Amino acid sequence: MTLAVVTLAAGKGSRMKSDLPKVLHRLAGKPLLGHVLDAAEQLDGATQHVVIGHGAELVREMFTDRPLTWAVQMEQKGTGHAVAQALPDISDDALVLVLYGDVPLIRTETLAGMVAAAENALALLTVTLDDPTGYGRIVRNDKNEVQAIVEQKDASDEQRQICEVNTGIMAMPARYLKRWLPALSSDNAQGEYYLTDVIAMAVADGVAVNALQPSSATEVEGVNDRRQLAALEREFQSQQADSLMVQGVALADPARIDVRGTLTVGRNVSIDVGCVFEGDVILDDDVQIGAYNVIRNSKLGKGVQVESFCHIEEAVVAQACNLGPYARLRPGAELADGARVGNFCEVKKSLIGKGSKVNHLTYIGDAVIGEGANIGAGTITCNYDGVNKFRTEIGDGAFIGSNSSLVAPVTVGDGATVAAGSTITKDVGADELAVARGKQRNIAGWKKPSDQ
């Protein structure tokens, strides 16, 4: 039996107070819908169907890289109506799993349990809440068998005391859905076609209803407003922090870390407060991350130390390097073993050789720096003429004096020295001293400007 996952993502989300479709709002840097699709994608043999409506084209554009089948719900007539839009693309012998694009923390393990429980039956995911207000109640008989789901607005006073509620997530053979959905009625307080009404139909037809519960209530919480989104963000990040600490990472404060992608860690890694990790980040053994760093799609080698307030993006940092504070590595930056990039320095598309130092107030772009070089404070590789980028090469053991400008394309040879304050426009040979600055004049008796 094939598995068809139908995710409902047609809602506007008016309580978000935004023009963006609700399912495109981000949790941990990823659209809500993306989390749901990722969880379902790991199920064996799953094909994914997404029902869209409000902002349909925006939703399509966000997920063009995925093999999805789209269905459009032109009018919002309820969950039963939404699922019906996807059914024409689903074969009769499939098993259908219904999910919601605004429930981002659902776990693959929970969904796998639903699929297993839905063979020739209807599997229903329920949760027991201290305060069930607003949710559809699970009505059971004297044998504790599920009989129906009654929505809050249609429930009697007695039914409203029930604390077991519907999460909306269910699974069943497609042949049942195709029989039951056309029989749904909109004769209810909302005037909508409730998918939940198929529970009573299943009972009437003698189809078993198997109720399961998730690992925690937060797993099935939906997002309707900014407060709920923020609460789920913190829950997600708490889970990431727990996972990291289980792997041996020392977190200065587990409540102050944000992982917006995949963070792979080695042994003896420590992370101070306020750090953000985006995309795919790898931290090798003994990496020490200071406070308030942002690291995106980068790899940091063994023993790297990152001082506070650094931004590192699409960079590769080898062993025992030291960064910051206030260093910026832009895409294409690569540091060899033991290199240092210090205070208020920026490196873009450049190689910093083994043991070389770029310590203060410096821009290195489109450059190759050899081993053991020293780049003085205020140095700039002038790599851009307004149209084209050019390369600077600095040899092993070279010394670049403070406040120097190297106008690319230019080469500074091994062991060469550039005097402080120089503007270098021609190649400097190995072991040469380059002095390229105006002659100093001291003027006696000079009068400072005055406002008198």
Catalytic residue IDs = 360
Strand partners, 276: 258, 294
Amino acid found at 8: L
Beta strands in 101-163 (DSSP E): 122-128, 137-140, 146-150
The answer on whether 330 is annotated among ligand-binding residues is yes
The answer on whether 363 is annotated among ligand-binding residues is yes
Cα dihedral 8, 11, 15, 18 sign: positive
The answer on whether 299 is annotated among ligand-binding residues is no
The answer on whether 155 is annotated among ligand-binding residues is no
The answer on whether 183 is annotated among ligand-binding residues is no
Q: How far apart are CA 33 and CA 45, in angstroms?
A: 20
The answer on whether 384 is annotated among ligand-binding residues is yes
The answer on whether 402 is annotated among ligand-binding residues is yes
Q: Supply 305's token pair.
A: 């130390």
The answer on whether 357 is annotated among ligand-binding residues is no
Q: How far apart are CA 255 and CA 259, in angstroms?
A: 12
Strand partners, 356: none
The answer on whether 290 is annotated among ligand-binding residues is no
Residue 154 buriedness (CB in 10 A; 0-12 / 13-18 / 19+): middle
Pairing of strands 322-323, 305-306: parallel
Q: How far apart are CA 253 and CA 441, in angstroms?
A: 57
Beginning with the edge strand found earlier in the chain, give each strand of the sheet holding 374-375 in spatial order.
250-251, 270-271, 288-289, 305-306, 322-323, 340-343, 357-360, 374-375, 399-400, 417-418, 433-434
The answer on whether 420 is annotated among ligand-binding residues is yes
Amino acid found at 188: N
The answer on whether 142 is annotated among ligand-binding residues is no
- The CA distances from residue 3 to 47, 63, 91, 284, in Å, are 6, 20, 10, 39
Q: How much is the CA Rg of the chain, to the nearest whole Å?
A: 31
The answer on whether 79 is annotated among ligand-binding residues is yes
The answer on whether 121 is annotated among ligand-binding residues is no
The answer on whether 322 is annotated among ligand-binding residues is no
The answer on whether 100 is annotated among ligand-binding residues is yes
The answer on whether 166 is annotated among ligand-binding residues is yes
The answer on whether 224 is annotated among ligand-binding residues is yes
The answer on whether 159 is annotated among ligand-binding residues is no
146 within 8 A of 164, measured Cβ to Cβ: no
Helix pair angle (32-41, 108-117), 10° resolution: 50
The answer on whether 136 is annotated among ligand-binding residues is yes
Task: Cite the annotated binding site for UDP-N-acetyl-alpha-D-glucosamine by residue number.
Answer: 8-11, 22, 73, 78-79, 100-102, 136, 151, 166, 224, 330, 348, 363, 374
Which residues line the annotated binding site for Mg(2+)? 102, 224
Q: Which residues are annotated as a binding site?
A: 8-11, 22, 73, 78-79, 100-102, 136, 151, 166, 224, 330, 348, 363, 374, 377, 383-384, 402, 420, 437
Binding residues for acetyl-CoA: 377, 383-384, 402, 420, 437
